[in-house]
Structures are given as structure tokens and as C-alpha cells.
A and B are shown apart, each in its own frame.
Chain A
Amino acid sequence: MRFFLRRTAFYLFTAWAAITINFFLPRFLKGDPVSAYIAKNQGLISPDAAAALRTLFGLDKNQSLLEQYISYWKLLLSGDLGRSFSKGLAPVTDVIASALPWTIGLVGIATIISFVIGTTLGAYAGWRRGSKADALIPITTFFSTVPYFWLGLIAIAFFATTLGWFPASHAYDKGASPELTWDFIGQVINHGTLPALTIVVSSLGGWVLGMRNMMVTVMDEDYVTVAQAKGLPPRKVLINYAARNAVLPQLSSFALSLGFIVGGTLVMELVFSYPGVGKLLLDATNAKDYPLMQGLFLIITLTILVANILADVAYAILDPRTRQSEA
């Protein structure tokens, strides 16, 4: 139990830290584009929307920093992240809400697939080291050093444009509107294959290498020799004794590197013009739509935090020592 208490305390602290960074980000950056925008669109913005924007961006100097901080939190808790300039003053929260599922679908699933495939390949490479399986390491490492966006561009140039196997962009055919029909789901999968494939291929290297090294270390442990001495079939030794222990550090590093990986794969959405949070963030940057950018950064961080929690829960399930020893 104690283990969960400590972990939740850490997550709350991280969430608070992310929100606080988001609070201070606009404040210490120079320039004040927001009030210029408000001044320009005096008529369009309702007074309370303007007030919300001023709090979000710390524009009302008369309030002390602390008061601004408190009202900032009030806004957050009420789910108001201000108005998006580039999206016709629509509430930022709604804009993000429409894009988030796509990102979770594409980046989330692709990252999990990449982790699972990478770990299995790594286990196999660790198990059969010295054989041709060793060739796996340089290949996957090469793909992991290749920049994501470049791999995406090449994939589009090759598979989509030249071979025409997959559509080059968007999440579904033009004109179609999102609804739960098989045809639409078919489109989504069709559109999503290429970007997902490039994410998996480019992030595979890290997992394969990590798992192989862990397998090599674990296989010299005594309990693996005991399993052999017990005459257990090799497959049982590989899975229940060797891989089961080797996957633990792999899982904890997965949890912690989510920030880096998800951050990187968001660019994939730009290359494939996929309607996720990543593309939204890049468009907002070009359009200097600061409220949307701030909101996006916060939501992305919190989503990664949630993914982190899930990974940690999986770790606790797999490793009994964390449950018992801490309690």
C-alpha cells in the first residue's frame, strides 16, 4: 500500500509542477502579444473571456503574483484555459478535446506496440545471442537514430506517393465525418497505418537494446540455473524465469521515457498532417496562438503523466517486491 501512497504523492507533485511551469512560462517570456490581440479584437471578446486571458497570461499587473496564481488555479479547475486566437476564439479546452483522441489513438497505441515488439525482439536477441539474431541490434539502432520526421517523409514519398499503398495524410478521407461505422473505422486504420508504422520502427531500437542487455544479465542469475537444473523445458525457463525478471527494469524505463518519446512522435502528426494535438501545437505556434499553445502543453504533460501512472501500476503488478516490501 505504501508504495502507491508514495507514487501518488509523486504524481500530484509532478502535476502541480507542470501546472506551475505553465503558469510561469508566459510570465517570464518577453513580449506581450496577448494584450495586443485583445486590444485589436475589442468587440469580439466578451469581458470575462478577456479577464480570463489576462489572468492566464499575468497581464493585470495590479494583482500580486500570488493572487494571479490563485485565480489561475480557479480558472483551471473550472476547465477554462482561455480562448484560442487562431480557432475563432473557441474555448481552448474544446479545441484540444477534439484533437486529443486522435493523438492518443495514433501515438499512444504505436508507442505501446513498439514497446511490446521491441521487448519481444530484445528477449529473442538476448536469448539467441551470437546467432544471426545479433544483426537485430545494429538495424534497430540505426532506425532509432534516424530523425522521426525524416523517416515519415521517406515513408510518404515511397509508400504513399510512389507506390500508393497508403494515403499520405489526414486521419480519414476528405468529406467523411467521424461516425462509428465500419467504413469509417476502415478509413481511420488505412490512414493511420503509415504514421503508426514509422513511429514503431523509429522508436523500436531503444527497447530491443535495453531488453537484450537485461536478458544477458538475468540469464547468469542463479534462479535461471535452478530452473535448468529442475529440467524445465527451455521455453518455460525463457518466459517464466528469464524474461519475466528482465522485463521489470524495461518497464520502469518505459514509464520514464514517455515524456521524451511522445514529445518526439508529435512531429509525426505534422508530417502526416494528422489531426492530433501535435499538429495543433505546431499550427498554434505558427499562428502565435499563445492560449492554445499553453493549454496544449499542459494537457500533453498531464496525459503523459497519466500514461506514467499506468506504466507504474503495470510495474507494481508484475513485481511483487514493490507491493510487499513497502507495505
Chain B
Amino acid sequence: MTTLEFKDVTKRYRIRGTGDFLALDKVNFTLTSGKTIALVGQSGSGKSTIAKILTQLERATSGEVLLDGKPIPRRGRALRSYRQQVRMVFQDPFASLNPYHTIRHHIERPLRLDKVVPNEEVENEVYRLLERVRLEPNDVIDRRPHELSGGQRQRVAIARALASRPSLLIADEPVSMLDVSIRLGVLNLLADLQRENNLGVLYITHDLATARHFSDEIMVLNRGVVVERGNADDVILNPQHAYTRELRDASPNPDKHFAAPGTTSPRS
């Protein structure tokens, strides 16, 4: 059971000319393996900053990030093992794979880097990983990213993240750039992988509907502050915080709209 804890994490950006911009203001949450938390917020709410701090692409200005109680190491072997535990899937399938390298290279790199399996095993492990994300290995292994569709590319990105057998997976808007009809397919895949490997998943999104259906808990973020947190259904069906309510009512919701024909929904 791995736990990753955000303790009063604040992040300040110094922007030349316009002074400081407070991206995160004392954010607290805990991510544990075996559970999916959705982090919901609009653009500029700071949700991507949280992802960057989790993957140590950026450092928090103040506050602590603890993995199993220990603060994230700055560098060296300890940082390497941290990074092996916490992996990320990026939003844009076109940009998250190196256009020059083949798919085989993308999956092999983490395997060799973290020596997950002995060298002679690497080939089979790559095939196994591709099959687990429901891709036909022979079809894609020697192809380059631009020869695959968006959905296939995102599955390769997921396979790459799983290669080092992490316990926590950060998915930053994993489906928002995919075609509508294949979004649920990829989200279902993430849900299955989460159950099979007892992963802790942080699902970052601006879409309340998918957040509700694919996570146990929802955290609502507004301008760097967690305004509400709770069980997925509670947060959506009876939100406590005004911002959450405003967000839910603004999201398109045909069911409510067509629930009782003729009744005019409350105009706030």
C-alpha cells in the first residue's frame, strides 16, 4: 500500500513584469494505491501544476510531498526509485511520444532504465505490455508515432507508464484530445488496469461526467485551492460548495434537461 501525500503544498510563479502568480495555495490530499481520485478544475485552476510537482518536473515553493511518509528526494538513486513508483500519462497523444523513435524504443527505455526485467526478457515484456493495453504488438511495435491513431498512441503512452510497474499513476486529461467514441474505451482500460494492479490513479480532468464515473473520490480545485472533496456521487449529486454547484449546473446535462418535458429548469 503506497501513499503519496500533499501537505500544505504552495506553488508561486515569478512572472516578469506582473509579479507573482499563486498557482497552488496550501493543497492537501493523499493518493493511495488501489483508489482513483479525480482532480476536477477549469483551465488555470492549477491542476497541471499538481501533476508537474508529483512527477518532480517542478518543485513546490513551500509545503511537503511525502511518499510513504518520506519527503521526495532531491536527486540520486532515491529520486530514481521515487520516479519509478510514480508515472504520468500526458494529455496530447501527438506530443507525448518522440516522433523520431519507434514504439518499441518507447516501451523498452523505462524497462532498461529501471532494470525492471533482465535484458533477455525485455522483448517479451514489451509484447506483454502492449497486449495489456489491447494493442496488437506486431501491428505497432516497429512503427513510428505518426503512423498510429490518437487512441493507439495514448494506449502506447499508458503501456510506457506501466512498464516500470509503478504503484501510482497520474493521468493528466488522458482522453480530452481523443475522438469521442474511443474516450470511454481508454477510460475503461485505465479502470481495468487500476483494478488489476491495485494502482493509485489521479485522474485530472475538466469534465465532471467522466470524473464521476471513473473515480471513487472527486476533488474540486478552483484557482489553486481545493474547494470541495468527497465521494464521487455526493460531490456531483449534492455539492456543498457554491463553485462546485455552479460548475455542475454549467456542464451540459441532457438528462436533467429532458427529465420532465415542459418544466423549466431553475434559472439562477
Which residues on A are within 8 Å of B, measured CB to CB?
A: 2, 326-327
Contact = CB atoms under 8 A, between A and B. Distances in A.
A326 B16 CA distance: 8
A201 to B, nearest CB: 41
Nearest to A326: B17
Contacts of B16: 2
A2 B16 CA distance: 10
Nearest to A3: B17
Interface string B26-64: 000000000000000000000000000000000000000
A326 B17 CA distance: 7
Secondary structure class of chain A's binding surface, majority of residues: helix
Interface string B11-35: 0000011000000000000000000
A73 B226 CA distance: 60
**Which 4 A/B pairs are nearest by Cβ-Cβ distance?**
A2-B17, A326-B17, A327-B17, A2-B16
Secondary structure class of chain B's binding surface, majority of residues: loop
Nearest to B16: A2
Contacts of B17: 2, 326-327
A241 to B, nearest CB: 28
Nearest to A327: B17
A62 B223 CA distance: 66
A18 B17 CA distance: 30
Contacts of A2: 16-17
A1 to B, nearest CB: 9
Contacts of A326: 17
A327 B15 CA distance: 12
Nearest to B18: A327
Nearest to A325: B17
4 contacts: A2-B16, A2-B17, A326-B17, A327-B17
B98 to A, nearest CB: 24
A155 B9 CA distance: 72
Nearest to A6: B16
B15 to A, nearest CB: 11
B21 to A, nearest CB: 15
Nearest to B17: A2
A2 to B, nearest CB: 6
Nearest to A1: B17
A127 B72 CA distance: 56
Contacts of A327: 17
A229 B152 CA distance: 36
A262 B17 CA distance: 36
Interface in B54-107: none
Interface string B227-267: 00000000000000000000000000000000000000000
Nearest to A2: B17
A98 to B, nearest CB: 46
A2 B18 CA distance: 11
